[in-house]
Structure 1
Amino acid sequence: MNPTTDVPVPLKVAVIVGSNREGRFGPVVADWLLGRFRERDDLTVEVVDTADAALPTALSHSPSPEVTAELAKVTPKLAGADAFVVLTPEYNHSFPASLKALIDWHYEEWRAKPVGFVSYGGVSGGLRAVEQLRQVFAELHAVTVRDTVSFHNAGASFDDAGRHRDPSGPDAAAKAMLDQLAWWAFALRDAKAVRPYGS
């Protein structure tokens, strides 16, 4: 809380763009999502793009200087976040290797923080990727929020300028997901200020 106004300090949300493929559709969906954040004064946002950090899928307890340099591009953003929104496509009924690498190279950064999901794909809208990610984040002591935003046949849902052709449904879904994310993030931030997680 801000002691002079009793207004909660806005939450820091890291939006993770999960695909690093050439020609990916993720940036279009990310731009749409960032527009939803601009409508809120309780959330601030920082983008963490898996395309900006070349993290290997093989983990090491002693990362090389090259890996350490790549981690430096993303780890402070994850550590400083109160909450996360993971933006993922669905590849072969799952989520991208670049996203799994980003997740697996971190641990403390996820603990006792909420995670929301925005997914996109063909007929499934990326929902199978989201269901698998819920299990991954549960193992990392994160809290996933129930409501998601999913785009079925995503390429046809947006016009050439990146605007959604029928925004009322996705906008309502995004509000519900962000409302839940904010509730959990405020609750967990306040709880951790009283007692560290796991104590």
Structure 2
Amino acid sequence: MNAPLRLEIIVASTRPERFAPVVAGWLVTALGERPEFEVGVLDLRDLALPVDLTETPEVEAFRARLAGADAFVAVTSEYNHGYPAALKTALDSAKYEWRAKPIGFVSYGGLSGGLRAVEQLRQVIAELHMVSVRESVSFAQAKRRFDKTGMTDDAAAIDACDRMLNQLAWWGTTLRAARTVEPYPG
């Protein structure tokens, strides 16, 4: 049980001119200083998940990747007070693979910093039998928060990220141990 937790970062925005890679890149860099995590990135732009939720080899591969994860972070923008459709498709493309696993959120957007999208996601996450950690990271007016190298000096976001990752590590370790002892009953 001392093995690092497999953490999958889900990059939710698929728009052509998206800012998501900057935010996700910053998170990957922050995770580089956290030996308790082994990090993967699931960029929804690169996945061919069918919106009609049909079974395909791509969906099977996606589910296998989720099954191997111990925790998740969704990096999400906010579009029209909600989260991207690609993220809803990803969430609905699997079922049991999400269960009894924690998820954190890094959001970005205009004045709200994506917080309305996160609040909607927390409802969906609960229905998937996941644990939504309390702490989240939010970047209001995100393009102003990052420098040309993709880093930020936003102290509140850096602190929130550290607290979120601490919670993900605790929940990830606890739930991995519990799943090993007894399968989740959902």
* TM-score when normalising by structure 2: 0.96
Q: Is the contact between residue 145 and residue 154 of structure 2 (CA under 8 Å) also seen in structure 1?
A: no
The match for 2:79 is 91
Q: Residue 58 of structure 1: SS of its match in structure 2? A: coil
Q: Larger radius of gyration, structure 1 or 2?
A: 1
The match for 1:172 is 159
Q: Deviations for 1:43-84, whole angstroms, at most 9, x for unmatched residues?
A: 110000100113232224xx3xxxx13324532221110000
> Structure 2: which 5+ runs fail to align?
none
38, 43, 66: which one pairs with 1:44? 38
Q: Deviations for 1:121-151, whole angstroms, at most 9, x for unmatched residues?
A: 0000000000010000110100100000000
Letter in 1 for 2:111: V
The match for 2:108 is 120
User: Per-residue deviation at 1:167?
Assistant: 3.6
* Alpha-carbon distance in 2 for matches of 1:44, 1:167: 25
Is the deviation greater in 173-182 or in 71-80? 71-80
The match for 1:197 is 184
* Alpha-carbon distance in 1 for matches of 2:149, 2:31: 19
Number of aligned residue pairs: give it.
186
> Structure 1: which 5+ runs fail to align?
2-7
Output the aligned Cα RMSD. 1.3
Is the deviation greater in 175-184 or in 72-81? 72-81
Q: Is the contact between residue 53 and residue 73 of structure 1 (CA under 8 Å) also seen in structure 2?
A: no
* TM-score when normalising by structure 1: 0.89
Q: Residue 147 of structure 2: SS of its match in structure 1? A: coil
The match for 2:66 is 78
Alignment of 1:1-199 (within 5 A): 1=1, 8-60=2-54, 63=55, 68-164=56-152, 166-198=153-185
* Alpha-carbon distance in 1 for matches of 2:119, 2:149: 30
Q: Which runs of 4+ in 1 moved over 6 A?
A: none
Q: Deviations for 1:64-115, whole angstroms, at most 9, x for unmatched residues?
A: xxxx133245322211100000010000100000111111011111000001
